[in-house]
Amino acid sequence: MTGQVPGRPGLPLAGLRTNGRPALDDLPKSERAVAGWLLRRGPASQGELVAGARLSRPTVLAALTSLGEAGLAETVTGRDAPPGEGRRAQLYRLTPKAGTAVGVEIGRRHLTVVLIDAGHRQILQEEEPVAASFDEHPADVLAQSAAFARKVVADARIEQGVLGVAFGLPVPVTREGHIGSGTFMPAWADIDLRDELARRFGGPVHVGNEADLGALGEYVFGHGHGQRDLTYLKLGTGIGAGIILDGQLRTGASGTAAEFGHITIDYQGRRCPCGNRGCLERYAGGFALLEDARQAGLDIENLPGLIRRARSGDVACQRIITEAATVIGAGLGTLINLNSPGLIVLGGSLSAAGELLTRPLRASLNQAAFPAAAQAASIELASLDRHASACGAAALVFERYAAKRR
């Protein structure tokens, strides 16, 4: 497939299938099952593949041998092998020949595109600022996002097939690719995200909420190795969450599951754009923290600036972060009482505050949650930094591609 990037005459589109059909398309059933597991979860041992793909050990070994002979699988050796002492089980992964996923995060202020090959190696990552107002001009934001993704794919000159592209956005997204709640941002309410992005990109796409995809990104590429349950909090301009339970991303029927920023903490409190009062985001989201800073007489333009001053010892900035962390911890206690995750991952701009955030958050959480559930939950800062959502979008491509070929 070829095409033209909007606004960039003559620039070719690498396309979703750059050299014909992706190499994974026509595999026999057992090889498809093994390749699908490696695609979704990354490098794995024979034992993990036996359990995950639900095949016998001889069948797994035969499939790995066949995939290796076709140049689609390889052993993990040298610098790519996991660290540690003692003898470890041999790991296997897919090769770049098996394909590439394109993951895109559409943020309020920036766009991020990552390309990750089927062996879970990142090929490249590029960013650019969002040119239009996210809240007021969704059509312009989507046009820029699709054009930027097409340009990155074209410039990368990917030799193997592209398995798909997925976009993550800071809005609730249903399974059908629609906005889950129009009250959040009225200008976006009637947009069919999947159809609109597919039309502008020039091929089929997947869409999801950025916090949900942040959870998926950390689960697949970050702290999720060996975990079955994971809760991810994106703490930035807005506040969102994504939940992995028993290895599955849970988005709910309307796409609004884990809208953590809209937990009510004061039913007579500040009015929220969602239509309710007293939402957590109105007290601990980026806009609220910057307003608190202005009321304290501080000249701070953004969250990174607030965090830098807090880390350098500014008492007023430290107080603002502590108060936000206390509110977040109380809300998180409620979430823990509901699903008791073993791992909580903190991402987004505010997570850069490190222990200034985690210490008061943990103290507040311990007061709000059942003791057993609180003690069972570990808290980690996101290993993928602020790129968890874009990486999660790539993981969504792998998940959907493998699911269609089971």
389 is written with which tokens? 């959502």
- Domain 4-19+100-215+388-404 shares a fold with domain 223-382: yes
- Every domain of the chain and the residues it spans: 4-19+100-215+388-404, 29-97, 223-382
Round to whole Å and give the CA distance between 292 and 227.
38
The CATH topology of domain 4-19+100-215+388-404 is: Nucleotidyltransferase; domain 5 (3.30.420)
Angle subtended at Cα 374 by Cα 368 and Cα 379, rounded to the nearest 5 degrees: 110
Q: What is the CATH number of domain 29-97?
A: 1.10.10.10
Give the other-Cβ count within 10 Å of 295's Cβ.
Answer: 9
- Are 97 and 71 contacting, i.e. CB atoms less than 8 angstroms apart? yes
Fold for 223-382, please state it: Nucleotidyltransferase; domain 5 (3.30.420)
**Per-position pLDDT tens, the chain of length 406:** 223 223 333 233 333 444 456 778 788 999 999 999 999 999 999 999 999 899 999 999 999 999 999 999 999 975 455 554 445 679 999 999 999 999 999 988 899 999 999 999 999 999 999 999 988 899 999 999 999 999 999 988 876 789 999 999 988 887 777 776 666 678 888 888 899 999 999 878 999 999 999 999 999 999 988 788 899 999 998 899 999 998 888 887 776 777 899 999 888 999 988 888 999 999 999 999 999 999 999 999 999 999 999 999 999 999 999 999 999 999 999 999 998 999 999 999 999 999 999 999 999 999 999 999 999 999 999 999 889 999 999 999 999 999 887 6
Q: What SS3 state is found at 344?
A: strand
pLDDT > 90: what percent of the chain? 66
Q: For residue 384, give both structure tokens.
A: 């993928």
Tokens of 322: 């502590």
Considering only CA atoms, which of 54, 47, 49, 29 is closest in space to residue 39?
Answer: 49
Global pTM reads 0.88
| 87 C-beta neighbours (distance < 10 Å), count | 6
